[in-house]
Amino acid sequence: DTAVSQTPKYLVTQMGNDKSIKCEQNLGHDTMYWYKQDSKKFLKIMFSYNNKELIINETVPNRFSPKSPDKAHLNLHINSLELGDSAVYFCASSQDVAPDRAPDTIYFGEGSWLTVV
C-alpha cells in the first residue's frame, strides 16, 4: 500500500495554463507538506498544513495555492504556469508535529514531474 500518493506522476503543460496536483496519505498523519525539487535536485519546502491549517508558507508566489479538504489530503493548484515552475513536486506527511515537540519522521510521495513548455 502506498503511504503518500500523488497524481499525476507526469504533467506536461503550456505556459499560462492552470494545473493541480493531488496528494493523499493513508498514514493517519496530522501534517502534510509540499516540497519542490529543482533541476539540480535541491529540495525546498513550499507549504505545510497541520490538521487542515496552513502553518508554513515559504515565500511561494501566490500563483501556488495549496488546499487541504481534510487532513489526509493536500492538493496543490498552480495558476498561470511559468517555465520556471518546471520541477518535481513532492508531497510529504508526518505525525505529531508541533512547535514544542521534536518532529517525527517525514514520509515523501513519489513525486510529480511538472514540465511547462
Partner 1 sequence: GESVGLHLPTLSVQEGDNSIINCAYSNSASDYFIWYKQESGKGPQFIIDIRSNMDKRQGQRVTVLLNKTVKHLSLQIAATQPGDSAVYFCAETITDSWGKLQFGAGTQVVVTP
Tell me how far, at minimum, the Cβ of 21 lies from partner 1, in Å. 13
Instruction: At 27, list the grid cell.
Output: 498514514
Q: Which is nearer to partner 1, 64 or 107 (CB)?
A: 107
- Cα 85 from chain centroid (whole Å): 13
Chain residues that interact with partner 1, rule: CB under 8 A = 4, 31, 33, 35, 40-45, 48, 50, 55-56, 58, 90, 92, 94, 97-111
Q: Which amino acid is at 98?
A: A
- 109 burial class (0-12, 13-18, 19+ CB within 10 angstroms)? buried
Q: Which is nearer to partner 1, 37 or 79 (CB)?
A: 37
Q: Which is nearer to partner 1, 65 or 113 (CB)?
A: 113
Helix H or strand E segment including 107: strand 107-108
Tell me how far, at minimum, the Cβ of 74 lies from partner 1, in Å. 14
